[in-house]
């Protein structure tokens, strides 16, 4: 499935979700460091930082923050400043919007 991801300059690109997730996981497993959430959220899922999530989506961090403000994508707030992203939930939210 493909979704459209826009950036601050209005450019839109199509992202094949399944391929992007597979490629990102294979290429950046060192960034994720095997970190998984074992708390009340869905255990065993990898949570990404803003930087990692933006890189995965191919957008700038500022665009990601804009999407957060518009509530286009879900996040997990660990504190007022620290957020993490469950990529399965992010991709599901983007699928609904396309």
Using one digit for the tens of pLDDT, what is the confidence trace for 18-47? 555 556 555 555 544 444 443 445 566 789
- Per-residue pLDDT, 52: 95
CA distance 40 to 43: 7
- Per-residue pLDDT, 21: 57
For the chain, give every domain's residue range. Answer: 2-97
- Per-residue pLDDT, 25: 57
Of residues 82 and 38, more confidently modeled: 82
pLDDT at 85 over 90: yes
Virtual torsion, Cα 46, 54, 98, 3, nearest 10 deg: -90
CA distance 84 to 43: 14
């Amino acid at each position: 499935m493909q979704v459209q991801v826009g950036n601050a300059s209005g450019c839109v690109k199509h992202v094949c979700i399944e391929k992007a997730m597979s490629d990102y996981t294979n290429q950046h497993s060192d960034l994720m460091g095997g970190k998984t959430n074992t708390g009340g959220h869905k255990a065993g899922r990898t949570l990404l930082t803003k930087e990692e999530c933006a890189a995965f989506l191919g957008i700038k961090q500022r665009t990601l923050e804009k999407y957060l403000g518009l509530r286009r994508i879900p996040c997990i707030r660990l504190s007022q400043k620290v957020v993490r992203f469950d990529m399965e939930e992010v991709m599901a939210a983007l699928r609904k919007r396309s």
